[in-house]
Amino acid sequence: MPLPSYALMEASVYAPEVFARGLPATLRAEAQPEDRTTAVPAADAAAPLLSLQGIGLSFGGVVALADIDLSVRPGEIRAIIGPNGAGKSSLINVISGVYRPDRGHVRLDGASYAQVPTQRLAHLGVARTFQNLALFKGLSVLDNVASGLAYRVRSNFAGQVLGIGRSRGEQRDFLSRADQILEFLDLTAIRDRLVGTLPYGLQKRVELARALVAEPRLLLLDEPMAGMTASEKSEMADFVRAARDRFATTVVLIEHDVGVVMGLSDRIAVLDYGRKIADGAPDEVRNDQRVIDAYLGVASDNEDGAGI
Amino acid sequence: MAAITNDVPSSLVLPKWIAPVLLLAFAYGVVPLIGSSYLFEAILLPFLALGLAGVGLNILTGYAGQVSLGSAAFMAAGAFAAYNFNLRVEGLPLVGSIVLAGFVAAAIGIVFGLPSLRLRGFYLAVSTLAAQFFVQWALTKFSWFSNNSASGVIDAPRLSISGFAFDSAVGRYLFALTVVSIFTFLAYRLVSSQTGRNFIAIRDNETAARIIGIPVLRTKLLAFAISSFIIGVAGVIWAFAYLRTVEPDGFDLDRSFQILFIIIIGGLASIRGAFFGAALIVVFPLALSRLGGFLLGDVFDSGVLDMSQRIVLGALIILFLILEPDGLVALWDRVRRRLLFSWQST
């Protein structure tokens, strides 16, 4: 089976409590039927836009992801949460083709990939943001956002230099689309600023704009609210929801802040040490004992809190 | 979140074309009338050639972020290609030789740009050194390139376009100015086009560039091709208009470093910066020799000059890297902004 024994040893070194509660062994028996019950109605409602099957990924001896199944329905906001090092970013990197998984397949809109072709990602209707900002610091906000349409460029450089052929119309089209997105995300006031000079929260929003300008069918957000204040977070959550409603985009989002995620997402998958320990609606996940354990640590003998 | 307003003074927003047009009018209308032949031969011609080479390298290094130490090789390729086209193709006009020479340099640039698909930073710089050594070796080894000349040094052909010769210092200056202006304008158009933005995107974050669908490999090779084309044309200007001889030794590693210094001192990712840097590199040794001769008299001979030149230039580069990494252009913009600001507030 996908989980090699050394992974258990790793887990025992880094997280004795996980090892002690015997999570990896019991998880399979318990989690699998649950997954099926939640997944079947989903399949009835609509074919998933994205589904991961048995994804496994390890770096050297460290298991980042082990046997992950995940399905994302069209139009939903799907959150992936988990403690630090749970493998959330690795999962996004697998979906966007930055990493090639050791095992398993990514099914995207009917086509199955062992590794998603990064270079064709934008053509497939997938856009993403990065945990550590990946903006182009030497470009203005407007140009950064317009660069999100680079995959559509049909004109060649000679046409662009001489200003002939389709380059002019293309340019006008790109800039007007970028301007629309800037207005939608309330960034118009800073459209000509160099992006490197902006505060962190605004840069995060510019990155969202760059991903949205292509009007992707699937939007992958890697910790879009990391490092933000509470008010910035709720503002960002509003933007994500508005983007979904306006562009009918399916959103997969990774987040630390459980509170924000609960209010924002339709379904939540919880990762811990590279394994999926829960998957379902926010309320189910909130009350799942394993999730509570993973986030707060395993409760002591004093479960009732007597004497505290 | 409070939106942050743009705080550039409104008076700075003059039409962008005014400054270059005034400069060109001055360069065409006034300079030929007042300039001495020393000014043309010793200052303006090398300035124009090195400035254009700087523009070419800036496209590759400043905009696309690919470090190259092979600029002089592409200059040599351009110069020798133009010489051979001119020599061996009957009835090919000079402009045709120059453009074809650009294409030859571009082709060599693509070949030596291939390692950039796998290498970055210092490793890429070292692999472009291969271009430097290979081209110089090939030009020295195969005397066919220099038409079997015994010394390897050949006279450049006369500059003439449809019967009109540019033999005098002023003529060569005007010829170089025209070529440099045209290619600088095209380079400016390029860096503000979609392709130019793709260059910057690859420089700033290659993974993100790939994710949003920029064809990274093709764009890198395109940067090498365009950059080498322009540097090749600069090589033609250098050999045909400035030195009036073509020889491999003039295009050695020192020249490559010189062009790299030009764009570092002038300002990376700036078309103007290449000319700022070229002006400094050309004028600085002359000014230093005048100043040294004035202050120290006979003690300041050519040996001392050469040494002090290297020391001061090296110190300047270190100072620039520490104090003004964005180069003379950033310095210039800041001074200009401060002047405008104080002028506005009075």
Q: Determine the structural domain holding residue B101 and report its residue range.
A: 15-249
Strands A126-128 and A218-222: parallel
Residue of A161, A192, A208, A235 to mutate for B, most B C-beta atoms under 10 A: A161
Minimal-distance CA residue of chain A relative to B3: A189
Per-residue confidence band for B154, with pLDDT thresholds at 50, 70 and 90: confident
Residue B1: list chain A partners with CB under 8 A.
Answer: 199, 201-202, 232, 235
Is the residue at B131 inside a domain? yes
Give residue B237's pLDDT: 96
Q: Is residue B327 part of a domain?
A: no
pLDDT at A44 over 50: no
Residue A302: pLDDT above 50? yes
pLDDT given for residue B193 in this prediction: 92
**pLDDT at position A228:** 87
Sheet architecture: strand order including A62-72: A62-72, A50-59, A103-108, A111-113
Q: Is the pLDDT higher at B218 or at B159? A: B218
- The tally of CA atoms less than 13 A away on the side-chain side of residue A30 is 14
For chain B, the average pLDDT equals: 89
B233 part of a folded domain: yes
* pLDDT at residue B160, rounded to an integer: 80
Give the 3-state secondary structure of residue A109: coil
Tokens 């079997």 — which residue? B148
What is the structure's pLDDT at A104?
A: 92
Give the orientation angle of helix B121-141 with respect to helix B253-266, to 10 degrees. 140
Residue-wise pLDDT tens digits, A151-189: 998 888 888 999 888 888 898 999 999 999 999 999 999
**CA distance, residue B133 to nearest chain A CA (Å):** 31
Range of A75-84, A138-147, B315-324 with top mean pLDDT: A138-147
- Nearest Cα of chain A lies from the Cα of B67 at a distance, in angstroms, of 17
B22 vs A16, more confident: B22
Sign, Cα dihedral of B320, B326, B328, B332 = negative
Residues 6+ away with beta carbon under 8 Å from A151: A122, A123, A214, B212, B213, B214
State the nearest Cα–Cα gap between A251 and chain B, in angstroms. Answer: 17
Domain annotation covers residue B331:
no
At A113-142, the pLDDT tens digits run: 999 998 889 999 999 999 888 999 999 999
Put simply, the answer to whether B5 touches A189 (Cβ < 8 Å) is yes
Question: A-B interface: how many C-beta pairs under 8 angstroms?
Answer: 111
Number of domains in chain B: 1
Residue A40's pLDDT is what? 40
Q: In this complex, do B190 and A160 lie within 8 Å of one another by their Cβ atoms? A: yes
pLDDT score, position B345: 77
Q: Report the residue of chain A nearest B326, measured CA to CA.
A: A138
* Cβ–Cβ gap B210/A171 under 8 Å: no
DSSP string for residues in A158-206: HHHHHT-TTHHHHHHHHHHHHHHHHHHTT-GGGTTSBGGGS-HHHHHHH
Return the residue of B nearest to A170 by Cα.
B194
The answer to whether A139 contacts B201, with C-beta atoms less than 8 Å apart, is yes
C-alpha–C-alpha distance, residues B261 and B84, integer Å: 30
In the predicted model, is pLDDT for residue A43 greater than 90?
Answer: no
Which site among B12, B212, B227, B230 would you substitute to test the A interface, given the most A Cβ atoms closer than 10 Å to its Cβ?
B212
| Contacts with A201 from chain B: Cβ below 8 Å | 1
pLDDT at B263 over 80: yes
Average pLDDT, integer, range B264-288: 91
* Mean pLDDT of all residues belonging to chain A: 81
Residue A151: list chain B partners with CB under 8 A. Answer: 212-214
**pLDDT tens for residues B33-62?**
998 988 998 999 999 999 999 999 999 999
> Who wins on pLDDT, B10 or B21?
B21
Question: Is residue B99's pLDDT more than 60?
Answer: yes
Q: Output the pLDDT for position A27.
A: 37
Best of B1, B60, B190, B271 to substitute, by most chain A Cβ atoms within 10 angstroms, is B1
Task: Give one DSSP letter per residue of B98-147, joined into a string.
Answer: HHHHHHHHHHHHHHHHGGGGT--HHHHHHHHHHHHHHHHHHHHH-TTTTT
A198-223 confidence digits (pLDDT tens)? 998 899 999 999 999 999 999 999 99
Q: Which residue has the higher pLDDT, B160 or B204?
A: B204
- Which positions in chain A touch B197 (Cβ < 8 Å)? 136, 139, 143, 146-147, 150
| Percent of chain B residues past pLDDT 70, beyond the cut | 96
Residues of A in contact with B269 (CB under 8 A): 138
| pLDDT higher than threshold 60 for residue B2 | no
Cα–Cα distance, B190 to A182 (Å, whole number):
25
pLDDT in tens, B292-333: 888 887 777 778 888 888 888 888 888 888 888 888 999 898
**Residue B156: per-residue pLDDT:** 84
pLDDT band at A38 (very low <50, low <70, confident <90, very high): very low
Of the pLDDT bands very low, low, confident and very high (cuts 50, 70, 90), residue A304 is: low
Helix/strand/coil percentages in chain A, nearest 5 = 45, 20, 35
Query: Which pLDDT score, from 0 to 100, does residue B16 have?
Result: 77
Mutate which: A92, A136, A188, vs B, most B CBs within 10 A: A136
Residue extents of the structural domains in chain A: 137-199
Give whichever of A222-231, A251-260, B99-108 has the largest mean pLDDT: B99-108
Phi and psi torsions of A265, nearest 5°: -100, 160
Contact A161, A168 (CB under 8 A): no
Whether residue B132 contacts residue B257, with contact meaning beta carbons closer than 8 Å, is answered with no
Distance CA A234, CA B98 (A): 60
